[in-house]
Structure 1
Amino acid sequence: MARFEFKMPDVGEGLADVEVVTWFVKIGDRVEENQPIADVETDKAIVTMPAPATGQVIELAAKEGERVKVGAFLLAIETGGGEAKTRGGEEAGRRGREDARTRSEIDDSNPPTLQPSNLPTILASPVARKLAHDLGVKLEEVTGTGPRGRINVEDVQRHADGLQAAKITPAQPDLTGLATTEDERIPVRGLRRRIAEALTETAQTVPHVTGFHEFDAEALVKERAYLQRHAEAAGVRLTYLPFVIKACIEALKQHPYLNASYIEGDEPAILLKKSYNIGIATATDEGLVVPVLHNADQFDLFELARRTDELVAAARERRATPKDMQNGTFSITNVGQMGGWFGTSILRAPEAAILGIGKIEDKAVVRQGQIVARPILPIALTFDHRVIDGQEALAFIQTLRRYLEEDPRSLSPR
């Protein structure tokens, strides 16, 4: 009998580690080659790992919820061969990547426009990839200075030095006397852990500014009511969200710095995006996710409503693919669907802006010297102050007001 040691392959581009979500096998189980043995979670997807060989599982190197570095020992299988083996990680990694790609397929009838910032391949030298792995640096965050943006060793080291200089060690709270035997300690794993890490990093590194505004939604309410029977005839559930998405797209075309990203490095730049990929913040049982409506400018109001419902449902049911979660250029969070009014959203890096919309409710306002009741739509715009100044943000809001408050009919398919 021989011991086959399986090492964790790189199932993405330059990953440093993954989290073991679920083991499908235990010590003593017999497995067949290519049989699913575990689900591991990367920054963007859950990937099912296949067994690299046929035999009996004799060792598992990680528990569910633990992180495993790429290249580290994951499990051992006793095979019928005559010598110990440690190969197989590369082949399984290829199969894992193919599996991830298969699970990431989306409808090719509306493929997202590939911009230089979201091409699937990261150009980097092998030595740079090795150094990035050793230092725990994500290659997608490194600015390459070589030909065609190729990442070299100096780029990786410079990025790592910058991370180390910016790292702040938080003071550990003294929990002595605070925890009791009745309290419950819940490990932070999977999606919740990624949410915590991403939002903490963004909140600490991006200068956020939020402005609050109120729109008179009387014309919008009437337009939705008029279109409701047409939407029902077309099999579409028409809420206010598609109107907001459509208005945002038109406003983004006129104010491109809201549809942009800040690129850090020795030569910082602002990247103006030419595609309109709208992220829709969605609450799920596991936590908040932001599926992306790619090329949203290509759809009319009813198609936006239909596709948004499908995308949100897929996200809540964990059917959304990794591509559904990538390459957003601007996000919208609808706190109004849960009765919320205003909120200060955290940006979804590297996007430069996110719009929060609250619940439309009647409020007393003054019109022509008289106090009257009007349906009011609360709006909160959070933006990256490195990219957007207050004047540009207010200009965007005024354009948005023109569509939603003064002329919502221009957003309709009629």
Structure 2
Amino acid sequence: MTVTLDDIQAARRLLQGQVIATPMLPAPRLSALTGAEVFVKYENLQVTASFKDRGAYVKLAALPEDARRRGVVTMSAGNHAQSVAYHAQRLGIPATIVMPEPTPFVKVASTKAFGARVVLHGETLADSQERVEAIIAAEGSTLVHPYDDPLIIAGQGTIALEMLEAVPDLDVLVIPIGGGGLIAGNAVAARGLRPAIEVVGVEAALYPSMRNAVRGEGRPIGGPTLAEGIAVKNVGRMTRPIIAALVSDIVLVDEAQLERAVNAYLTLQKTMAEGAGAAGLAAMLAEPARFRGKRVGLVLCGGNIDPRILASIMVRELERDSRIVSIRLTIPDRPGVLGGIATLLGEHGANILEVDHHRLFLDVPAKGAKIDVTVEARDRAHAEEIVQACADQGWHPVPIATAKAIE
């Protein structure tokens, strides 16, 4: 192994007083949701709201003076960027961060706020890496790789030391995988302390890069994902053999499962999780039988999520639960009908959120109209009651996508 338990324990000593020893707490409501006994490590409480603070400080603190003067450069979709910028600012090291152009604005703004020079380039980290290599050639900067560096890996592995110190008898750790630095370090630490513990990785289904590499699969890679923090095409050269040796399986989660996990952290745990940060919980929602009855440790590894995206996720989850329902009604176009609809919905306890009136649809008679109504319901049964009441009036209700009405 390129990283050992001794390396991770040394990193932990170095990090004392430099990063937050985040809480590891039981999560009864997530336990009820998943059927396992869940404990959450809240790395979203770090200064930059992600676990990346750990590896970034360990790497930067180790740089010799001449390297510090020349500065550092890295490519990142956001969390590593912020952590490098933050600790570079603390240590007086010039930092340049190359970020993919689709990186959420909140991460770009936060990185700039820590004093780094930010360069937006390309669609993916692989594209950004090309610009990084050009900057290194031109300026002599030192690369602070997001995951393929033994000091970065050792710093991230300190999380498992703290988790097992807080809850020594965990059965499973479920850890997101991008390039593999987080899971590699924590697998070394956890298996070094407790050889019998299981470590399960999680990737976004659109970016199964490590699973492809470890299993020899050829799943397609690419596409827009909520978990942009782990949307990596090129996995780590150092991390791959560690994962192959110490990680029992890699679960793939789709976008709906990631959305559900982000929403569960917000509504049940009252805490912010970005898509990548919620990937561990998404794996438990995707394969509940695998984890049922076990003591599971989750790393909520980041909380940097665009507020607009978060708001959209909450509305979409309300729709999936039928607590927000949009229906299209076909009605006669005469005075009083709209008032009758409002009265009927009120009698059935529906809260009207939006109404959109259409008279020019060609599939409606000249003396007819269509009404799109978005309402709030208590639950699925209540939503069905509302739709049936509209049907009983002869309004021919047809469900439509809520997203159109809410946006």
| TM score, norm. by length of structure 1 | 0.22
Whichever structure has more helix as a proportion of its residues is 2
| TM score, norm. by length of structure 2 | 0.22
Whichever structure has more strand as a proportion of its residues is 1
